[in-house]
Chains A and B, each alone.
Chain A
């Protein structure tokens, strides 16, 4: 018995070491940093207890950034999932060229986020951008809009890019979910005379729930933690008016007058707590653990 346990540990060892190294150690280091005071240069100057957390609450920009983050995450994940449901349904059908379309959908996912963001910076550009050119030449706009410089449009412009890059992954997760639904249930629905919409609502959606769950939870985490899009599209704007918690954290550490690693680390800890809380709340509301809809767990 003991020998078996040893052998198991031997095999698990490398991955346990890996987890300790890349998950556990950074987490401990983050918490430790959040309790320290650092010079502008990054030099450790002693421990300050929870003072960094208290200072975090006094930051005037915090409420704006929190609202931005909530908007960013809900809008990107919400629209992404809705559009992906439709896209997955489409790609689930058999039609000529389906393989090609499926491959094409991977492209925005495979491209580097920084590159995609830079590309959109130029698409949105006031003077050179394709978008303004297109909209003014067909007469939708009478004059160009500074998409990334106008307070009214920055967040929307960023959300659009966020959705664009999140669609592939989400669609594929849902597509896999659709592929896992057995054909008999649809046959049964047809025999019962259900309309297409009723079938979708009462058969497909409930059976898709496990995949939907994965898609939403992973997307919430990815989108919340997304740095390159907000950073790249918002880099021209002064202050914190359009930052999310992640870019705010980076600015606190390196790009604002605060220039404070300890304060940024405290925000980092808060970010982890927030994301765990959000995921937990989501799982609670869909009653993931106490007898979720039986069909969904089939």
Chain B
């Protein structure tokens, strides 16, 4: 009998504890999901912001910092289980807007905040004419070159045209057996970014009007040019279609083995910290009258949930206070998305080339829900075109067919 009582007691306690544990999660806490931009700064900033928010009378914040590799999966799981976050940070938004999951910006940020967004980024967050994807931060690519290698190869200035680029790459490549002219990352990690820059500077684009134009004639020419870099001129690293950006192209550049690479401000930050490579930053080599670079905009979005609008609005307005947003963007080494932020960051001379490039930067078509599939398709397949024996036209034709199908499907 005594034993049975004890068992009963243990079980009751266990059930009680389990209930307590469950109850904590279902409170009115605000769930905020943020991608991890860096180990050092992301959590520190958002933790601090969350505390500030709660101190100002907001609810408790359930802050989740998730690394880029698994954020798509975790967010998808949350939505499958009908437990979306209140605020989400991601590099895409239009599929969520299409699925009717989001508040339009007017519902969740004050007019002041809204008017402060730089025009290009406010446009980049629109779905069917309404702003859903609030710009959280931006970055712009720039052309990085290794000054020491350029000097050794007798190159006076970074190349401006594609012909000059090929000549320069050949000279650098010829320096030494382990030296690479241009590091071309067309592996799955970020191939769409590298490809966008070359595509635009070759005179092509993702879309013509509202229709996808991935296999346009200039694009086929550009991809052929990249394949030639790899297989005819042999001025890239080994297997460029199978090289990722972070641990491939950037790593080689940081190690001083590469003449040229498409970088961005966080790479500059790392290079400065390591102090090993003397580098210069220039505009992209181009076939166009004016060099075009890629701007990348990441988003904050607010999920429609019962009774969460006021709490979400308070949180977003707190983030967009000029002090807060600028503090974080500066810490992470990215670029501003607001007019006030742009002014404040002008003070930093090192950022001038990127800030100058920002107004002319072009964005990938994140406003089209089909982009979420097109991007993955390009990441997974464009590398095949620059492998020995690869066929650029075939690869682009297939990507175009898939894009058209994705646009037609819901």
Contact = CB atoms under 8 A, between A and B. Distances in A.
A42 B11 contact: no
B263 interface: no
A156 to B, nearest CB: 16
B80 interface: yes
A38 B406 CA distance: 14
Interface residues of B, number: 51
Interface stretch (B39-47, B241-249, B292-300): B241-249
Interface in A135-157: 146, 148-150
Contacts of A259: 372-373, 376
Given A121-B247, A146-B239, A256-B380, A43 B188 contact: no
Contacts of A33: 80
Contact of B178 (A42, A127, A149): A127
Give the secondary structure class of A's interface: loop
Interface stretch (B133-141, B347-355, B381-389): B381-389
Contacts of A148: 242
A14 B14 CA distance: 10
A40 B244 CA distance: 24
A10 B11 contact: yes
A39 interface: yes
Contacts of A38: 80
Interface in A2-50: 7, 10-11, 13-14, 33, 38-44
A42 B92 CA distance: 14
A261 B187 contact: no
Contacts of A55: none
B173 to A, nearest CB: 14
Interface string B6-50: 010001001000000000000000000000000000000000000
Contacts of B75: 41-42
Given A39-B99, A235-B188, A254 B72 contact: yes
A112 to B, nearest CB: 15
Contact of A238 (B77, B255, B380): B380
A126 interface: yes
24 contacts: A10-B7, A10-B11, A11-B7, A39-B99, A41-B95, A41-B99, A41-B101, A127-B237, A127-B255, A146-B239, A149-B243, A150-B239, A235-B187, A238-B241, A238-B380, A238-B381, A238-B382, A253-B76, A254-B76, A257-B373, A257-B377, A257-B406, A258-B373, A259-B372
Interface of A: 7, 10-11, 13-14, 33, 38-44, 121, 126-128, 146, 148-150, 235-239, 250-251, 253-259, 261
Given A7-B4, A39-B98, A40-B95, 11 more contacts: A40-B369, A127-B238, A128-B251, A238-B187, A238-B241, A239-B380, A253-B76, A255-B380, A257-B402, A259-B373, A261-B76
